[in-house]
Structure 1
């Protein structure tokens, strides 16, 4: 493939990936961060159910945003693999498989999120109190499911950050931020799923998640505004590790 064509493809792919990254950040922040905070009340099934039925518009918008995230994640996963596979096929493949695993868990988690609506609106032969209790269980399972897909996402960011450090396509500061910050997702996922409570870990997680959030946004803006530096065939001259 001619060099100028390769550059054009990289620039186009990079800007598409950047746009997808930023769109996912907005949709995900809304569906994962805002919507549950307005509906789910921990330990109070009756209030949670009332919030759900009283804010069906918000609930549906959250489902649409979650669905958009899942579909956009498929596209960005493929694009990132194409962008970095010539730097390290192994790392690029690890990053792709890990992110695809995350997408699968997200799909299951979306099903858990909509089940409370089904329980509260469809005749199931259950008492209202029982329906509300089961709805609360599904919401709690959805919250835990987030920590499950975070494990996959953490693995993805480790591979992505490392392959960025192996290349000259993106500033290495962003690569370090993604690589180091990935441990925030991994540690938080393990801590929450094992129900561990250690104050020092909480502080560490907050710090790492701050780093990775800034790095992810920076990576998205960099791709969208600047694109890649050079071509996908230009990598660091260091010895190949993967």
Structure 2
């Protein structure tokens, strides 16, 4: 009885595509239904009151972000399995960048966990409401900052994946859109970091980041589920890459 020693590309593509779709659904709930609704950046007292009044939803959002980080691990692994025939070094780089982003996202969720504990738990017993509200808001600022900085690594991941798709002639248009999304993630984060008046361009940057990222990543999920195995099967055989000892 033989045991298959490797994963079929079709299985890897399906795992990555389904993980992407699940991640989209979780992000809609965790970010837009929970964080955007409960956290008011300019009103610490209202943020505290919102979290206290809807603690279950906030904790559900926290769990959603943890699951998103876990799905990123699956996607990193599955994309490496799927794309390594186009070049081991490039697919490894893409995988490590995605793993790095997942690690940063896990760290960001720790700030979110601190926020809910400060807002509702005994850790801040004896602290007055004003101080509790301030600490809760600071924790959520930490969450946003860590996530934003992590998007630099995620953007680099998308650029590498896009370069692979273009270079291997798997899907040139998709590769260009993913690379554009990656560049905009990096540009937006550095704009946040270095511009003192980022608010003046916030609306423009939101569109510039959201359009290529939403189109590119949804397109990637569909491509993974519908076309990736056939596209890779049509590639000519490659010589194995030599890795220095």
In which range does the TM-score fall when normalised by the shorter chain?
0.7 to 0.9
Q: Provide the aligned C-alpha RMSD in A.
A: 2.5
State the aligned residue count. Answer: 232
- Any unmatched runs of 5+ in structure 1? none
TM-score (norm 1): 0.86
TM-superposition CA deviations, 1:99-121 (whole Å, max 9, x none): 11111110110010111221122
Runs of 4+ in 1 over 6 A off after TM superposition: none
Rounded to whole Å, the distance in 1 between the matches of 2:237 and 2:163 is 12
- Name the residue aligned to 1:116: 115
Shift of 1:75: 1.0
Rounded to whole Å, the distance in 1 between the matches of 2:80 and 2:186 is 22
**Higher relative contact order (Cα pairs below 8 Å, separated by 6+ residues):** 1
- Name the residue aligned to 1:23: 22
Shift of 1:171: 2.1
- Any unmatched runs of 5+ in structure 2? none
Alignment of 1:1-242 (within 5 A): 9-120=8-119, 121-124=121-124, 125-168=126-169, 170-197=170-197, 203=204, 206-231=207-232, 234=235
Rounded to whole Å, the distance in 1 between the matches of 2:237 and 2:186 is 28
Rounded to whole Å, the distance in 2 between the matches of 1:215 and 1:117 is 33
Shift of 1:233: 8.2
Stretch of structure 1 that moved more, 120-129 or 19-28 = 120-129
Shift of 1:65: 1.0
Shift of 1:128: 2.3
Shift of 1:27: 0.8
TM-score (norm 2): 0.85
Rounded to whole Å, the distance in 2 between the matches of 1:230 and 1:99 is 23
TM-superposition CA deviations, 1:151-186 (whole Å, max 9, x none): 010000010000111224x42211111012211110
